[in-house]
Amino acid sequence: MSIKATGFSDKTAGSGRVSSSSIELRLPSRLGYEKVAMNTAASVARLMGFSEERVDDLKTAVAEACINAMEHGNKLDESLIVGVVLSMDANSLEVKVTDNGDGPQSKTDAPNIDKKMHGEEDARGMGMFLIQALVDEAEWVSSPPAGSYARMVIHLSNPHV
């Protein structure tokens, strides 16, 4: 596992300089390590001034994205890295989670609890739905053979309901 942080001021807004910076994590594809990304994202979000409700939303979204990357993207091959890049600017926090896979196999549809209860739908498979529901922007990009990524953004100015 490794961590890399960069910080710089790259543009000037009307009221002054706006700082941008990023933090990169490299995690083994081992379940449990998603908590490193989850807690790092939470720390950054708190430093940026996000409410605890939004921090909790982000924690779940980041954890689910990392689990998807480990399980489905990298097939739990611990030699393969899940990359996590947190990019901050004045009003938003972007988290990009990369893996070596072909992109997501599941879907973002809301789970059908009745089908699950009647065995017509897998009890699992809710991760992408939760990500989509909990952050302001979510996208999944498939770019084999280079790998794939999930991208999530939360905005300070956009209180999530």
Partner 1 sequence: MPELVTRVTVEEVPCATGDPITVLRFSGDITSASQPAVMGTYEGLPETARRILLDFSKVEYLNSSGIALVIQMMIAASKKGQKIHSFGLSPHFKKVFTMVGITKYTTLHEDEASACAAFD
Q: From the list 42, 45, 67, 150, which residue makes contact with partner 1 (rule: CB under 8 A)? A: 67
Site track for partner 1 across 14-33, x = CB under 8 A? -----------------xxx
Stretch that binds partner 1, among 4-12, 90-98, 128-136, 137-145 (CB under 8 A): 128-136
Find how far residue 126's CA is from the centre of its chain. Answer: 15
Question: What are the structure tokens assigned to 71, written together?
Answer: 């399980």
> 93 vs 57, 63, 84, 114, 152, CA distance in Å?
13, 15, 13, 35, 8
Q: From the list 123, 139, 142, 159, which residue makes contact with partner 1 (rule: CB under 8 A)? A: 123
Residue 157, judged by CB atoms within 10 A of its CB (0-12, 13-18, 19+), counts as exposed
* Secondary structure class of 146 (helix, strand, coil): coil
Q: From the list 22, 46, 94, 129, which residue makes contact with partner 1 (rule: CB under 8 A)? A: 129
Q: From the list 91, 124, 137, 142, which residue makes contact with partner 1 (rule: CB under 8 A)? A: 124
Residue 57 binds partner 1 (CB under 8 A): yes
Residue 64 binds partner 1 (CB under 8 A): yes
Using only the alpha carbons of the chain, give its radius of gyration.
Answer: 16
> 2 vs 85, 109, 148, CA distance in Å?
12, 34, 20
Q: From the list 85, 126, 153, 156, which residue makes contact with partner 1 (rule: CB under 8 A)? A: 126
Residues that bind partner 1 (CB under 8 A): 31-36, 53, 56-57, 60, 63-64, 67, 110-114, 116-117, 119, 122-127, 129-130, 133
